[in-house]
Structure 1
Amino acid sequence: MSRFKNAKLVPIFILIIAIAFGAGYLSKGSDTSPPTDTKSQAEGEKGHDLEAHYDEAGNVTWTCSMHPQIQLPKPGKCPICFMELIPLIRKDEGDQTSMREITLTSSARTLAGIAVEEVKRLDVAVETRMAGKVDYDETRVRNITAWTGGRVDKMYVDYTGSLVKKGQPMVSVYSPELLTAQAELIQAIKAIRDLKDSKLDLVRNSAQRTKEAAQEKLRLLGLTQRQIDKVITEGTPADHITLYAPQGGVVIKKAVNEGQYVKTGAPIYSIADLSSLWVILEAYESDLPWVSLRQQVEFQTDAYPGKVFKGKVVYIDPLVNEKTRTVRVRLEVPNTDGSLKPGMLVRATQHKGGQLGKTKNSPLVIPASAPLITGKRAVVYVANPDKEGVYEGREIILGSKAGNYYIVLSGLKEGELVVTKGNFKIDSAVQIVAKPSMMNPSTASRAISEELPSLFSSKLRLLSQSFEELSSAVSTEELSQTHMAFGEFNKSLRLIDGSSLEGKIALRWKEYSMLLGNDAILGAEAPDIRRLHEIFSEMKKHYAELATTFAIATPEVELTAPVEFRTQLGHVFGAYEALAASLAKDDTEGARSAAATISESLRLVDETVLDGPSHNVWTASLTKLNDGLAAIRDAQDIVGVRTGFEPISVGLSEAILKLGVETNGPLYEIFCPMAFEYEGATWLQRNEEVHNPYFGTAMSTCGEINKQLKK
């Protein structure tokens, strides 16, 4: 690739370098040749609170100011643009709150033109513009058809556009079939008269049914009841049938002419009632969030400048026109004065909101210039109100765009300050120091060497179970099931408290929990299978980085316990809870009774359903449980009962951790460091509120959560 083929790149490059200089990220020397002592050079920058970035071998990392993704162990030229590499220098990260945090000096902020605006709740003012045309209301269009075959002898309405009233005669049709049917009715009536003196009820009833059948046949052929009564009264068949208008309106179609023969069912007229019309609008798919059923929409026509009509949204097409990327929206519009004509072109405008929200129901919004959008994700930079010139990059989830605002679904809080001008320049500076940014959202991850808090580690293990369950749900490609699985994963993620972490570990946890949380929110709302797999593919990368960084290992042997065994173990835990509660209240007799219940529950556990490795785990746990129960049976006082309680807790904890248990809600292992003369001991609880069974009422709250055993 040749250097600077496009001259427009030069000003951009100069601007990025200037920002980097102002921020204090690049060396100030004009000499681009590599220094003989890179550590001395880094030490020479101490006046600017800078620290060279070294790799694990202690060597300085060299990068390109135009292509920060280039990071080499030795100085030289950029393999892309052939510029001299510069040492990658960054501020000390000891007091940072995010991996995406960056500090700009006053001159750098001035050069970048940084402007911020508060995140607020606002009933955003949205003006949705649509175009369309007036059309007939299809529910108010009626056809007049030939009820019987024949010849059209007279058309009372002989042109389209005629105004007609309901019941108005429209056409007269000569029909031989009609003559035959009338003759049948006349003959049936004559038969009834002739048989009125007959003593045979069967005969009279048969004649009556023949009459009724002949009347019904004439009705189906199109005669009104009045016309049928006239045939009966006069006794003379009519050779023509007159068809009447079923509703008032305008004739919009005339399909035949006088003298023309028609078949049964052939259309003759179409009549439309124009007192109510449809307006068919075309809405861009990006505007659909602001269009909903039963909304009132205003529109205008060229025929009546300045006059505003209103209609109600009654239908939104479920399909998108792939050529125009629009969706048909139908309005129902009253037209009592006849001003609107089918075929008129209209311009519609739909307004929504616009005042500061005074309730929590108003959406959280940011200016449209704040987010840096890449595909389905967005990055914003949030100003730290307590540290001047400090900005934190944050990935957020955006909702719909509403005029000059974006609705924020996740990632920001009301009152935070987001950068609305100069955000791209901040992102460029972040890229130079190789931190996660809009264009480079991930960083190389490696396992941490520090020991993690035990409770945090246990919750990470449970998170891995949630991710496996999510993976299984995604493989089924059942949207409803996967939506719930994404929600459960997000719940497990939010329950992990990283406040006990410090330094770089805390920064990495904040970064990965943010990314995975956003993945889970997007996955829970995936509209189709294709989008679902796109989101989960991205999520797998983020989870792999988390697993690598925090060394979330998968057991070499996957232990399995059938549901019936886990249910039986749940009954054992229920009896164990009663034992712990009795000891917490210093109730010796209650504790002995609960221990006896544990023994009964253990006898009901069917260990034959376990495979080899699982059976070995249960055997070891059962030994501890029985040892503890034996100690309680031999105990002379509550001290002895508490001595037996400890191995029961250890054995049950091991079984639940490795084999699982069927109980509602989470389970926690609590540790008391003062038990048994400061040797320490553990017990199990359903909640995080400590009720110490080893000291009872004397020190009921002594203890801390050691780990979480179950989600």
Structure 2
Amino acid sequence: MALSFRKLLYPLLLVAGLLGGFGIAALFSGDDDAAVSASGVETAADTGTSSGGAVYTCSMHPQVRSTDPDEKCPICGMDLIPVPTEEESAGADTDLPTLSVSPRSAALMRVEVTPVARGSAQVPIALFGMLERDETRLRTISAWIPGRIDWLYVDFTGVEVEAGQPMARVFSPRLIAAQEELLHAIRAARELEQEGIGVVREATRLTVEAARDRLRLLGLDAAQVAALERREQVEDHVTVPAPVSGVVLERMVAVGDYVDTGAPIYRLADLSVLWAQLEVYESELRWLKAGQPVRLTSEAYPGDAFAGHVAFIDPVLDPRKRTAQVRVEVPNPDGRLKPGMFVRGVVTAGATVAGVAEAEESLLIPASAPLLTGKRALVYVQQPGAERPTFEARQVELGARAGDWYVVRAGLSEGELVVSQGAFKIDAELQIRGRPSMMRPEGGAAPGHAHGHAQEEAQHAGHEAAATATEHAGHADQAADVGPAPESFQREIGRLVTAQFALVQALADDDPEAARAAALATDAALHEVDATVLAGASARERWNALARQMHAGLDGVARAGELEPQRRQFEAFSDALTAAAASFGMTGTGPVYRAVCPMVQGRDGFWLQPREEIANPYYGEAMLRCGWVAETLVAPAGAEATP
């Protein structure tokens, strides 16, 4: 009798753990739906024996079905648990995942709804860079005539000058000869004014005009030529003025130097308009176009903002940083901004720019509303007019993400109430009840929660066990112990690795809700791995140990409500996954890179990602590019995998 009670005790404990996943059943006491949650699964004690028609499954491998409550899972060897019947899953007769709760239950679950709104999606794009001089506003003061520099009015750099201000005096014999030629021509014209043949007078007049043009070509303006004619005295020096207002960047000559025609004397820059050379990641280029307003801030003037606009977007990417240069023109009439200052910019872009096919007025939902799994996006919509809060799952087609919002292309109507906070809790409750949900649209047992001693062992293993597994997984002797894995098993490992890419991206995006959903999706892929194809007890034991560790980490990510505990749990999962990929191999994936961050709790943290560009899941936006690719596990087509 004691032995029989012990066999029944494990399923009872497992059911209690599953139904208490989010504390919903305990808190729903007194509600109609509490009875559903509390009795959604019968134990072997309730159904008697297999003769009562009860069906049992493994929580880690829900595809397993048996009518014998004493049978073990043929894949992992764990005890089986009862599958809830249709009567026990109230409301399971609908094809759509639907959950009806009392108002008190909805409050305890902290469910918040937001109406689907129609508006213009705005995406804030952060940019960073440095101020530079406007290349179109650079000027060079050159010598128009050969001669000797006898005086410099500005003899050091950094001086601000005004247009027309004297800059240098040049002594030039050629200038003297040209002035004398003009004065002689003028005197001759006067002598022939009263007398002389008309043809001669016209020739003399043309000579005067030619002499004036020659002086203008030598750098004298019309006013200087007129002054020469009035005083009728040769000026042996010519004054070189500043063509524009600006700052002297460079002095090219010294007093006493001889210069040829065209030799540079000064270089000036007009700083009334500056260029901000900013960098933007290639993933954000689609939001930018020329003419967009930009708001700039500088450390030199905290609290002040400067306006500019996008003038040019570099058509070529930096292949190392995967960024493009964006040039912003910034007015600087008071000269407060200086070339070389670091600045930050923000462009608030609409989802219609740069060819993105979104309507000017689009349907928008909060970014926290959809549960994303692979190519599917699911939201929970509160049904209007229901006696109790009732939430129905709806598959939607999403457009671009615009900051804290998603554009909805299909699946929702304006004014419908979508769950913006608590969608994961609703989905988890449906999974506990064995109802259709995001992860299991067909319904049935909840995605795996390692049970009994197996879960306890995995949770206590911690990072040390995962680190040990990772450390030894790559050694040849360890791989030899498990033997070669069948190709079908390697394909399932490949699907598992591909599924966890969404989890890596969610953590890198600092999105805890998306991380929860991705953890469940990855857990579902983990449960689909069939270890019965492995040859040898050592291979199956090793896989079961790594699978328990992976499941414990994914379960921790799904249960955590904040990023920091999610990232700690992810590390244990990632270490075990890396060890599994190294031990058994994987096929059927795209490129896979093993990346490392040296600053994870004072040690190296590893993860698998599909791109060479680092997207750090342990720090997110705070240090998104911290780390490097330690090894190429699966190279892109045409390349070889190399460490």
If asked which structure has higher relative contact order (CA below 8 Å, sep 6+), I would say 2
What is the TM-score when the length of structure 1 is the normalising length? 0.43
Q: Report the TM-score, using the length of structure 2 for normalisation.
A: 0.47
